[in-house]
Amino acid sequence: MPTDTPYVVAHLAVSLDGKTDGFPLDRSRFHQLVGTTWHEDATLAGSDTVLSQEPTLIHGAGPRDPGPLLAVVDGRARVTRWEELRAAGHWSEVLALHCRATPPRPPGRHVPELVVGDDQVDLAAALRAIGRRPGVAVVRVVSGGRLVGRLLAGGLIDEVSLLVHPVMGMGARTWWGEAPPPSRSLQLIDSDTFRGGLVWLRYRVA
């Protein structure tokens, strides 16, 4: 893990076979662990995740102050409801992460953006830039798997947190993305069990 990046943790709800979809997840326990464990300074999300969760994210509570920054990896400029995301009540500010190949943005769009990388967003450069922002020491990744896979491949994740549900997933997505990640040694930080057969596993990524 480069020393000039913040501490990056991927916290995912998974089935016994490593899927992130196709099963009923315990949202209450998942978010309770988020709220009491890392106290993130920034949330890093992929555009797929943001677009799929927009109906539940956008409810107009207003920016959370103080609150984490929401940085969205959006190399194809598919996210459009930036003002509503800012006002969703979860984050204090939003940041669009683009690359030089990102399509032109609409004129008059009022969202801070960071352009890093040529054909796709350079995640290492993005994390370094986010880590240079005042007060940003911990970044939590929100992903169905693809973004986590890219971060793992780049050696950019410090901790993997898995809330394992006692079911076999019926979906297609695995928490490590589209391809098996490179072999890395994992050190168990902590484990816990909860009612209903949930098991929480935390690993430090070497």
Q: Which of the residues in the chain have pLDDT under 70?
A: 1-4, 58-60
pLDDT digit string (tens) for 90-108?
899 999 999 999 999 998 8
- Where are the chain's structural domains? 1-38+157-206, 42-136
The pLDDT, as a whole number, for residue 154 is 92
The pLDDT, as a whole number, for residue 1 is 44
The pLDDT, as a whole number, for residue 2 is 47
The pLDDT, as a whole number, for residue 20 is 93
- In sequence order, what are the residues at sequence separation of 6 or more whose Cβ sits closer than 8 angstroms to the Cβ of residue 191? 199, 200, 201, 202
Can you identify the CATH homologous superfamily of domain 42-136?
Answer: Dihydrofolate Reductase, subunit A (3.40.430.10)
The pLDDT, as a whole number, for residue 55 is 77
